[in-house]
Amino acid sequence: MSSETVNSAAPGARSSVRAVIQSNLRDYGLVVALLAIMVFFQFTTNGTLFKPVNLTNLVLQNSYIIIMALGMLLVIVGGHIDLSVGSVSGFIGAVAAILMVEYGFNPLVAGVLCIMLGGLIGASQGFWIAYLKIPSFIVTLAGMLVFKGLSLAILGGRSVGPFPPEFQMLSAGFIPDVFGPIAIPQGGAAPITLHTTTLVIGIAIVVAMIYFSLTSRAARERHGYEAEPFALFAVKTAVIGALILFFTYTLASYRGIPNVMVVMSILIALFVFITKMTTLGRRIYALGGNAKAAQLSGIKTERLTFYIFVIMGALSALAGLIFAARLNTATPKAGQGFELDVIAAVFIGGASMAGGVGQVAGAVIGAFIMGVMNNGMSIMGVNIDWQQVIKGLVLLGAVVFDVYNKNKA
Amino acid sequence: MSKTILEMRGITKTFPGVKALQDVNLDVVEGEIHAIVGENGAGKSTLMKVLSGVYPHGSYEGEVVFEGNECHFKGIHDSEKVGIVIIHQELALVPLLSIAENIFLGNERARNGVIDWAEVRNGARKLLETVGLDEDPDTFVTHLGTGKQQLVEIAKALSKKVKLLILDEPTASLAEKDSNALLDLLVSFKKQGIASILISHKLNEVSKVADRITVLRDGKTIETMNRAEISEDRIITSMVGRPIEDRYPARTPQVGETLFEVKNWVVHHPIHTERQVIKGVNLNVRKGEVVGIAGLMGSGRTELAMSLFGRTYGHAISGDVFMNRKPVDTSTVRKAVDAGIAYVTEDRKTYGLNLIDHIKHNVSIANLLGVSRGGVIDDLKELKVANDYRARTNIRSSSVYQLTGNLSGGNQQKVVLSKWLFADPQLLILDEPTRGIDVGAKYEIYTIINKLAGEGRGILVISSEMPELLGICDRIYVMNEGRIVGELAGDEASQEKIMRAIVRGEGKTA
Ligand SMILES: Nc1ncnc2c1ncn2[C@@H]1O[C@H](COP(=O)(O)OP(=O)(O)OP(=O)(O)O)[C@@H](O)[C@H]1O
Ligand SMILES: [Mg+2]
């Protein structure tokens, strides 16, 4: 995931494939773990996991966790924690329901208001954390209780729904097929209809990915900086490309790309960009790595912390909207326990409790690992209690692997 | 000759990409003070970590023989059991526990898990007496200065029936008086048969107390000198690999107009807000001038610098700051940096570096605008900058992607310097810039200072080492108890005059 650790070998010497793999063990390990878990469940569920319907479901089920994991990554890299995200998302779902169902607000207006409210909630928590130096664990623990209580209060204990159809489209809709479907005859069986637009997008993404990684590689070499060995680069790109094609093909053979996935992908891309390429991202890593040194380097650490929580609040709100749209009602229980999945995803993805370390890609893969396990175990009929036990052990295992790896180095 | 208690033979230790130790040999005889010297990154701390089991048996090659037995330490516990105690470069006391609790930490005086407080206090009192520390055992460690904390560490070591005491740069942040007390203590231990290994960059004290000196260079043993052979010049030659004629590079000062001026600067203590820490300081630095601030520990020099730099220290601050004769606002770090001021802290690990990130990111962090456009970082430009500064300040590392936490002290200091050089300040405030740094690296840092002054920048150096100030400064302010009590031109200053100014200043405040 980070192209930079690749260069930690002695300058001049071209780094060997083995050295590169070794120094990126964590990153590759995570991807391999996800693939292994997927293959495992593909077998144990007799091929249900990769069925187009199920894969689509997997995306829909995990989108809100992933969206919150993006914000949580910033929070944790910045050296904090946010326990309130589940409650906040539930609360926002409730507010959205009241606005749309009871007061007949236009879904778009209500959605924007809700996300702004989420930002405001983040700001109100961030204020205590950033400026008054109250530990985030405590502030957001309080926030968790407060917003859990508030959703109960405004819903009066009932469920409110259904939402207007336009709003439901957020979680139940798919992108339109502007090119029109194509049908592939299957001999005697019913033909497979493919969502052409989805295929085109998939191919476009792969082409763009190859183009950009080749040009940035060339730029490095032109300036005399070594890049990773070509063989490794080629294999990596080929594997990722193949995965994207397989994934979009599977989606295309169902109903195409879900609307949420568009939202989610844009956000993931945005957060990868922020954390890797912007000064904002760099400052967050510096803050988490050594807050005092960051402050003495001229970084406005308090304002930065404040904004991190504003972003987290807005993303929790978005996640709350998606979840409400998916259930098509707002219930007082919505969002409960989400914070645990979100935080677990970020830590499985390699972030460090102490701050300063963590990658967006890791958090997303971590969320998918949790999601595939949830999904796979449900299909297998594993009881919810044992699901919890297994998820807990996986989280522990991932972090132990991390710490062990670090000590060995 | 008394008997050898420790022998380390053929020690080799590698980290990914670095051979930190290569076939190193060391022997220590009973009751001697054995000094280990060498440049930053020579492998001194690493060797001691091998000896004390921080790097467990199996993670290095070679053998460690203590009192005739080959040792396979798995951790610090094992080495302490046989009487080897290490006091690390970074002190390891728990600030919010009392002196007594710290002394017996991990070694509690307890019956069935219940602590016997009377015995703890008595034991602590006795040990404090031995090390000559006159403090109540119930005092919290956080209330002690570094010098006293160092003594608590030693008391803690003594509580463990120590036979070989290892001190990694114990005097780096001590005032001269405290250093001398500590060294005297080591000498007194000799009579009790306790041997010490002393790592230090202060060659004068090493040559004063050491019985033998082993020199390391680039992870190899160069030689071991006996008492009779010891001289500072010989040590330096052996450390650096060539003789150094002059410890301070020559410079012809070209002093211009006033660059930086502070008037009536008053700072109050952040907690005891009624107490003035800085009591009306006036000073100035001209373009191209290297100005020093001398004074004893606790005279308020760091507090002055930090309060000037974005008010990062203090409360109810008043006074005026001028750059190029225009008043400037330095109320936040950002504003101070924008006004052209940079401050290199005395504590590079806690305040200067992000130790879990690499050199490249540390160098650019104070001037991200310089490597970005519209908030987007230009990775190649940043890499180029990092490589440039790595070359300019001669940072020794495998590449700019080495974590700063794995660099030796001197190289860490060069990273902090690089960070601020890249921010392109007009005034550079350096707080103890050469603390814990070897002679060679010191020379390099002085050269950098000279070059910056040559470019017309102003340099303000805070240092507790008077010879250093005398060697590099054009003008020296003397500070005592929050006041400027003297100002001396570089060529007429001397240690005596500085001390006299301090004493006179003390008379005034009394
Ligand atoms: N954990 C580590 N990983 C990688 N390299 C390391 C690690 N620890 C030390 N090194 C490297 O080993 C070499 C020896 O370091 P060491 O800390 O022993 O030096 P030193 O002689 O104690 O220096 P100083 O006087 O600055 O304290 C250095 O080049 C350092 O960068
Ligand atoms: Mg050291």
User: CA-nearest residue of chain A to B306?
Assistant: A296
Contact between residue A293 and residue B351 where contact means Cβ atoms under 8 Å apart:
yes
pLDDT at B231 over 50: yes
CA gap A18, B20 in Å, rounded: 22
- Ligand 2 centroid–CA B49 distance in Å is 10
Whether residues B446 and B463 share a domain: the answer is: yes
What value does the CA radius of gyration of chain A take, rounded to a whole number of Å? 22
**SS3 label, residue A72:** helix
**Interchain pair A293, B354: CB under 8 A:** yes
pLDDT in tens, A204-216: 999 999 999 888 8
CA gap A89, A151 in Å, rounded: 10
Whether residues B62 and B128 share a domain: the answer is: yes
Given B377, B401, B424, the domain boundary residue is B424
pLDDT in tens, A312-325: 999 999 999 999 99
Whether residue B180 is contained in a domain is answered as yes
Q: Angle, to 10 degrees, between the axis of helix A165-172 and the axis of helix A301-327?
A: 110
B77 Cβ contact partners less than 8 Å away, ≥ 6 residues apart? B53
Whether residues B429 and B419 share a domain: the answer is: no
Whether residues B229 and B257 share a domain: the answer is: no
**Exposed/middle/buried for B6, CB within 10 Å: 0-12, 13-18, 19+?**
buried
Task: Give residue limits of the domains in chain A.
Answer: 24-54+61-173+261-408, 175-257
Whether residues B381 and B437 share a domain: the answer is: no
Bridge partners for B479 per DSSP: B484
Distance (Å) from the alpha carbon of B420 to chain A's nearest alpha carbon: 9
Q: Which residue, judged by its Cα, is nearest atom 31 of ligand 1? A: B407
- Ligand 2 centroid–CA B386 distance in Å is 24
Bridge partners for B480 per DSSP: B483
pLDDT at B177 over 70: yes
pLDDT, averaged across chain B: 89
| Topology of the domain covering A24-54+61-173+261-408 | ABC transporter involved in vitamin B12 uptake, BtuC (1.10.3470)
Indicate the top mutation candidate among B8, B240, B408, B413 to test ligand 1's pocket, ranked by most ligand atoms within 8 A of CB: B408
Give, as one character, the DSSP assignment of residue B474. S
pLDDT in tens, A284-302: 999 999 999 999 999 999 9
- Ligand 2 centroid–CA B38 distance in Å is 9
Whether residues B91 and B209 share a domain: the answer is: yes
Whether residues B159 and B89 share a domain: the answer is: yes
Contact between residue A168 and residue A322 where contact means Cβ atoms under 8 Å apart:
no
pLDDT in tens, B446-463: 999 999 999 999 999 999
Q: Classify the phi-psi angles of B91: left when phi > 0, otherwise alpha if psi is within -120 to 50, otherwise beta.
A: beta
* Helical (H) or strand (E) element with B431: strand B427-431
The average pLDDT across B355-378 equals 94
Model's pTM, two decimal places?
0.86
pLDDT in tens, B251-292: 888 889 999 999 999 999 888 888 889 999 999 999 999 999
pLDDT at B71 over 60: yes
Ion ligand 2 neighbours (CB, 5 A) are B 45
For position B289, which CATH number holds?
A: 3.40.50.300
CA gap B73, A74 in Å, rounded: 41
User: CA-nearest residue of chain A to B332?
Assistant: A298
Residue with more model confidence, A16 or B88: B88
Indicate the top mutation candidate among B48, B222, B390, B406 to test ligand 1's pocket, ranked by most ligand atoms within 8 A of CB: B406
The average pLDDT across A155-167 equals 91
pLDDT at res. A178 = 85
Number of domains observed in the structure of chain B: 3
Residue of A372, A364, A361 lying closest to A394 (CA atoms): A372
Q: Does B94 touch chain A (CB under 8 A)?
A: no
pLDDT at res. A25 = 72
User: Is the CB of B440 within 6 Å of ligand 1?
Assistant: no
The average pLDDT across B319-335 equals 94
- Ligand 2 centroid–CA B408 distance in Å is 6
**Interchain pair B361, A285: CB under 8 A:** yes
pLDDT at B131 over 60: yes
pLDDT at res. B93 = 85
CA gap B361, A148 in Å, rounded: 41
Residue with more model confidence, B242 or A379: A379
Q: Which residue has the tokens 């004493």?
A: B503
Give, as one character, the DSSP assignment of residue B211. S
Whether residues B302 and B364 share a domain: the answer is: no
Whether residues B461 and B439 share a domain: the answer is: yes
pLDDT at res. A9 = 38
CA gap B469, B129 in Å, rounded: 36
- Ligand 2 centroid–CA B201 distance in Å is 10
Chain A, chain B: beta-carbon pairs less than 8 Å apart? 105
pLDDT in tens, B80-89: 889 999 888 7
pLDDT at res. A407 = 64
Q: Does B233 touch chain A (CB under 8 A)?
A: no
Whether residues B280 and B152 share a domain: the answer is: no
Given B201, B218, B240, the domain boundary residue is B240
User: Is the CB of B14 within 6 Å of ligand 1?
Assistant: no
**Exposed/middle/buried for B20, CB within 10 Å: 0-12, 13-18, 19+?**
buried
pLDDT in tens, A117-127: 999 999 999 99
Whether residue B406 is contained in a domain is answered as yes
A102 Cβ contact partners less than 8 Å away, ≥ 6 residues apart? A160
CA gap A357, A372 in Å, rounded: 25
**SS3 label, residue B103:** helix
Q: Does B361 touch chain A (CB under 8 A)?
A: yes
Largest CA distance in chain A: 72
The average pLDDT across B356-377 equals 94
pLDDT at A19 over 90: no
pLDDT at res. A1 = 38
Chain B 1-30, CB below 8 Å of chain A: which residues?
A: 16-17
**Interchain pair A282, B365: CB under 8 A:** yes
User: CA-nearest residue of chain B to A295?
Assistant: B333
Q: How confident is the model at residue B119 (pLDDT cuts 50, 70, 90)?
A: confident
Long-range contacts for A238-243 (Cβ within 8 Å, ≥24 apart)? A240/A209, A241/A206, A241/A209, A241/A210
